[in-house]
Amino acid sequence: MSLEKASISWSAKQLKNMIASGKIDFNHIIQRSYVWERKRKSALIESMIIGYPIPPVFAKRSVDGTGKRGGNIYAIMDGKQRLSTVAQFLNDEFALSDLPPVSYMDEANGGECEADISGMKFSELPEALQDHLNSVIFSVTYFDNLSKEEERELFKRLNAGKPLSTKSRLLASCNDIEGLLDIGSHELFGEMLTEKSKDNKNQVTLVMKAWCMMNKPVEEVSFEGKDFNPLFETTEITNEERLELDKVFSLIHDTHFSLTDNLKEKAVAKKLYTETHLISLVPYFAKAVEDGIDADTMADWLVDFFGSHSEEYDIAAGNGSAKNSNIVTRDKVLSESFEQFFTEE
């Protein structure tokens, strides 16, 4: 069965307006973050001026739910950098750099002209060049009714040979990306991660690591790429596991609040929101949820634990923290501390 697809052409000015109105969506689940530097952006604008071919854009089309004519949304699967660059330049958001003078046609001024455009923003270009750039046509191929499997496969094929980040490859191959992102929308990650980290979807990795710590024997857990990355292709988190993760993340969040509420314990709160420590602590927050231990008591335990300065734990949390041997070591030290603290309680 062939994919449902069609092509459409838009001018650069139309693209800019569609992006502004939300008709073009750059937030596709497996889309790469915006990564072009100014020199590469400038080269694209130069290509548009000279007339070099611009590669086509690929998108998934959907309806925005209003039922109105023209209510289609185009989620960009390949071409985000090109379209973002065009919109940014037409909106005067950057100046061109490292370009030689360019020739262009200006009938109002006698035909062929030349301009040194380096250092110029769009509004500073000669009017004839502005008109030309606004009218440059982009070809867009869009797909309808894609299944999750077809989306993943299409993304991989469109980006074959491109320098994708490990994260982009993981997202493209992920068996349950919607589920991981849904769990990763917990307020814990909203506070813990920077906007850039959330844009890079680092919460997906954290959720998968937490799931491993709660559902696999620690002797089998490794966060080294060769061991960890294949899990994204095979793992689908059940509804019961989602609920358990949500409870654990809520207790971690509340414990962090308890720690930050006490000015003296802010250093411990910072450690709790550090990836290696947080993931290592997940099984013990899961046990706390099961045993009905509250956030203030968990905060007391963390103050006691990090105040003891276990050299064995600190070494295992340093270089090579993703290795199974270091995960096992951290878990052993935490287990002993947890048992001792709550036995004394």
69-86 pLDDT, tens digit per residue, is 457 899 888 888 899 999
Cα(193)–Cα(199) distance, rounded to whole angstroms?
10
Is pLDDT of 31 > 60? Answer: no
The two most distant CA atoms of the chain are separated, in Å, by 91
Contact (Cβ atoms closer than 8 angstroms) between residue 303 and residue 265: yes
Query: What local confidence, expressed as pLDDT, does residue 48 receive?
Result: 95
Whose tokens are 């001024």? That residue is: 109
Distances (CA, A) of 4 to 56, 70, 80, 153, 185: 17, 19, 21, 14, 32
Angle subtended by helix axes 127-135 and 38-50, to nearest 10: 90
Query: What local confidence, expressed as pLDDT, does residue 69 receive?
Result: 45
Cβ neighbourhood burial of 129 (10 Å; 0-12, 13-18, 19+): buried
Cα(40)–Cα(81) distance, rounded to whole angstroms?
10
pTM of the model: 0.64
Cα(15)–Cα(133) distance, rounded to whole angstroms?
12
**Bigger pLDDT: 228 vs 180:** 228
- Reported as a pLDDT band with limits 50, 70 and 90, residue 27 is confident
- Model confidence pLDDT, tens digit, residues 136-185: 999 999 999 888 778 777 877 776 656 556 666 666 667 777 788 889 99
Report which DSSP code applies to 162. S
- Model confidence pLDDT, tens digit, residues 231-282: 988 888 999 999 999 999 999 999 999 998 876 688 999 999 999 999 999 9
* The length of the chain, given as a count of residues: 345
Residue 221's nearest CA partner among 302, 288, 282, 286 is 282
Residue 83's nearest CA partner among 118, 127, 41 is 41
Query: What local confidence, expressed as pLDDT, does residue 1 receive?
Result: 58
> Around 322, how many Cα atoms within 13 Å sit in the side-chain half-sphere?
10
- Model confidence pLDDT, tens digit, residues 295-337: 999 999 999 999 987 899 999 999 999 999 999 999 999 999 9
Contact (Cβ atoms closer than 8 angstroms) between residue 57 and residue 31: no
Query: What local confidence, expressed as pLDDT, does residue 200 receive?
Result: 76
Query: What local confidence, expressed as pLDDT, does residue 166 receive?
Result: 63
- Average pLDDT of the chain to the nearest whole number: 88
Cα(202)–Cα(196) distance, rounded to whole angstroms?
9
